[in-house]
Amino acid sequence: MTANSILLDGNSLSRQQLVAVARQGYGVRLDPEQLKRVQRAADFLADKVSCGEPTYGVTTGFGSNADKLLGAYRLRDELPGGNPHKPEGTLLEELQHNLITTHAVCVGKPFSADVVRAMLVIRINTLMRGHSGIRVATLEALTAMLNHDVIPVVPEKGSVGASGDLAPLSHLAIVLLGGGEAFYKGERLPGAEALKRAGLQPIRLSFKEGLALNNGTAQMLATAVLALDTIEYLLDVADLAASMTLDAFAGRSGALRAEVHALRPHPGQVSVAERVRELLNGSTLVDIPYHLVPRFRQWSVDAWHTTEDQALSFDISWEWVPANQRHGREAFYNRFLPFKGGKKHQPQDAYCLRCMPQVHGAVRDAWAQACRVIDIELNAVTDNPLIFPDNTDATHIEEQVISAGHFHGMPLALAMSYVKAAIPVLASISERRLNKLVDPATSDGLPAFLTGNEDGTDSGFMIVQYTAAALVNDLATRAHPASVYSVPTSANAEDHVSMGANEARHVLEMTEDLSHVLALELYTAAQALDYRQEMLNAARRLAARGNWQALASKVANAPREDSAHYAQFVEEVKQLTAALADVGDFHAGKAVRTAHDALRGHISFMHRDRAMDGDVRTVCELVQKRTFTIN
């Protein structure tokens, strides 16, 4: 890779390089040495045609027409009145021309420019292998179209994933012939006009070139690569969102420990646990002693007495556990003070937090498996028939021009169906964490729906969870694998197809909703984290003033002074005061704080109900713009 272009040799294209061309505007260059192999295959094919050798897709029809040998001249020219639509060129050239023009029949909205640019790169790279019979001049014309940013209009729907992506690749190739439509400098134009404005000329196809251009897996591979690139980022966002949520819960880190995951070392699981430990590094919230964490209590006019504290929009509280209620729990209360606040007295968190490495990790493993398949496909030859000009021991042409099935998209289809099933899983566990934050029954002392609501007028983050739930349901209903349902084509000559184009397109489309769910979790977790930190720090400031009576006033069930338990209560509330006074500032992990600050640079803490549509739009845009990339 150079500063602005990628060298294509048919053997070394990476996902990162493809994304650079598709999404960052890089151009491509063709390896001169590899072009010699391209020309050798084209010359070999031309020689065989001149010798009269019958060759599929060159001197025969396609698909169910493969039993039809092309004649020396057009029979239709003998029809009464002649043939007023007689095309230019030979019958063999007409075969290739017609293949492209009749196969460009996709429907739906056009693919975005990044998908089409990726398709072009993939097609050029596979043709560079020198097993397709395309001429160097034709390959250079395809390259010029990409480098001049002539973007063919390729409607999204029409490929069954075998024989490759015939219909969408025909839309890609038809512009080379001066047909179809293309975008040029943002304007949708007839193909010939787009080429003209770019200073390019249409071409005429030679032997097998139509088949070389439209017989392959470029659409499903392009959408798969771009989807996997987005998912790679969203996997990191999911880990970050979960870390922020865990900090907001003042959760437990034991389930993240390295020795735990060494006992079940699935690669993704081990990686996620390690990454979350790094994201939480420096946190003073995780593993906090139970007794230090106060519970939210609604603000009242007499809640606070200092000027600093009177600016707070909440109150805090604990409950004291009398001695006669500690029977059988003496060991616990020897370690922790007998106060119940915001943290339940249990050593494990809910599954959405505790099992997060297992769930996120399994999704990472699905992504990694798809990447392994895609990395092979990026440098594979996927058209048909395959040409082996160097097979000099061949005794007949079928040993040098071999019909095979590399166009069949099932390897990609099944890999992407795995990812497709994983996407709702990642979205679902994110939504469960979001729901846990807003539900007072599960939020460990945070306010209901993350708002004070002392006047009973505020909904807070209630409906944010509704939106996340709707997105999760939508993702789940779209997760059915397309690859399990083959519909035969070409009069049953192509009787088993992969539907891989639909599979990969679905995954690419689903990444947007996944990003929205994760954005909503970040949005909600930031609000919860602010509450958790401010409540803890308010308690710490109260204790730091050395006035145990002020802290005692925050104990909802404090005994009366004439109670038999009062002396013990006083002693233990003084211990709580000292424990809070001795700790430093309460804050999240360093990486979590960085992400929180980035979000707060665009969206402020919500003290009272306000219009949230702008907030939601902003946080979704921040995720999509990859604001939360943390190295």
Q: From residue 306, how far is each of 205, 292, 374, 400 by CA, in Å?
A: 84, 21, 62, 90
What confidence tens digit (pLDDT) does each residue in 217-249 have?
Answer: 999 999 999 999 999 999 999 999 999 999 999
Instruction: Please calculate the CA angle 412-414-415 and round it to the nearest 5 degrees.
Output: 65
pLDDT band at residue 64 using 50, 70 and 90 as cut-offs: low
Nearest Cα to Cα of residue 249 among 525, 573, 435 = 525
CA 164 to CA 157: how far, in whole Å?
13
Helix (H, G, I), strand (E, B) or coil at 250: coil
CA 272 to CA 358: how far, in whole Å?
8
Question: End-to-end alpha-carbon separation of the chain, Å?
Answer: 22
Q: Yes or no: say if 122 and 223 are a contact pair by the CB < 8 Å rule.
A: no
Q: From residue 377, how far is each of 20, 148, 409 by CA, in Å?
A: 18, 26, 10
Write out the DSSP string of 483-537. GG----BGGGTB-----HHHHHHHHHHHHHHHHHHHHHHHHHHHHHHHHHHHHHH
CA 66 to CA 64: how far, in whole Å?
5
Q: What is the mean pLDDT of residues 114-132?
A: 97
Which H, E and C letters describe 563-609, residue by residue? Answer: CCCHHHHHHHHHHHHHHHHHCCCCCCCHHHHHHHHHHHCCCCCCCCC
What confidence tens digit (pLDDT) does each residue in 355-407 have?
Answer: 999 999 999 999 999 999 999 999 999 998 899 998 877 777 778 888 899 99
DSSP secondary structure letter of residue 43: H
Q: Yes or no: say if 97 and 87 are a contact pair by the CB < 8 Å rule.
A: yes
Please state the domain extents for the chain. Answer: 5-79+88-216, 228-369+414-488+497-624
Neighbours of 486 (CB within 10 A): 18
Give me the residues paired with residue 319 across strands. Answer: 340
CA diameter of the chain: 119
Q: Yes or no: say if 111 and 156 are a contact pair by the CB < 8 Å rule.
A: yes
Residue 49 has pLDDT above 70, yes or no: yes
Q: To the nearest whole percent, how much of the chain has pLDDT over 70? A: 95
Q: What pLDDT is recorded for position 1?
A: 39
What confidence tens digit (pLDDT) does each residue in 279-305 have?
Answer: 999 999 999 999 999 999 999 999 998
Asked if 5-79+88-216 and 228-369+414-488+497-624 have one fold, the answer is no
CA 183 to CA 523: how far, in whole Å?
37
Task: Please provide the average confidence, as pLDDT, over all residues in the chain.
Answer: 93
Residue with tokens 């233990």: 572
CA 483 to CA 418: how far, in whole Å?
10
Q: What is the mean pLDDT of residues 464-487?
A: 96
Total count of residues recorded for the chain? 631
pLDDT band at residue 3 using 50, 70 and 90 as cut-offs: low
Residue with tokens 């968190």: 349
Q: Is the dihedral of CA 599, 604, 605, 608 positive or negative?
A: negative
CA 1 to CA 27: how far, in whole Å?
10
* Residue 275 one-letter amino acid: R
CA 221 to CA 311: how far, in whole Å?
56
Nearest Cα to Cα of residue 616 among 601, 631, 630, 603 = 603
Q: What is the pTM of this model?
A: 0.94
Instruction: Please calculate the CA angle 135-136-142 and round it to the nearest 5 degrees.
Output: 95
Pairing, β 315-317 against β 339-340: unpaired
Residue 429 has pLDDT above 60, yes or no: yes
**Domain 228-369+414-488+497-624 bears CATH identifier 1.20.200.10:** yes
Q: What pLDDT is recorded for position 392?
A: 77
Q: Yes or no: say if 615 and 523 are a contact pair by the CB < 8 Å rule.
A: yes
What confidence tens digit (pLDDT) does each residue in 511-522 have?
Answer: 999 999 999 999
CATH architecture of 5-79+88-216: Orthogonal Bundle (1.10)
pLDDT band at residue 82 using 50, 70 and 90 as cut-offs: low
What confidence tens digit (pLDDT) does each residue in 554-613 have?
Answer: 999 999 999 999 999 999 999 999 999 999 999 999 999 999 999 999 999 999 999 999
CA 153 to CA 106: how far, in whole Å?
10
Residue 434 has pLDDT above 80, yes or no: yes
CA 579 to CA 53: how far, in whole Å?
91
* Residue 254 one-letter amino acid: G
Residue 523 has pLDDT above 50, yes or no: yes
pLDDT band at residue 494 using 50, 70 and 90 as cut-offs: confident
CA 98 to CA 393: how far, in whole Å?
35
pLDDT band at residue 87 using 50, 70 and 90 as cut-offs: low
Of the residues 56, 73, 351, 466, only one is catalytic, namely 56
Q: Which ranges constitute the DSSP H helices of 51-176?
A: 91-103, 113-127, 136-147, 166-174
What confidence tens digit (pLDDT) does each residue in 192-221 have?
Answer: 999 999 999 999 999 899 999 999 999 999
Q: What pLDDT is recorded for position 2?
A: 43
Look up 523 and say whether it is catalytic: no
Q: What is the dihedral of CA 168, 38, 210, 69, to 10 degrees?
A: -140
Q: Yes or no: say if 290 and 343 are a contact pair by the CB < 8 Å rule.
A: yes
Q: Yes or no: say if 133 and 381 are a contact pair by the CB < 8 Å rule.
A: no
Q: What pLDDT is recorded for position 59?
A: 77
DSSP secondary structure letter of residue 555: B
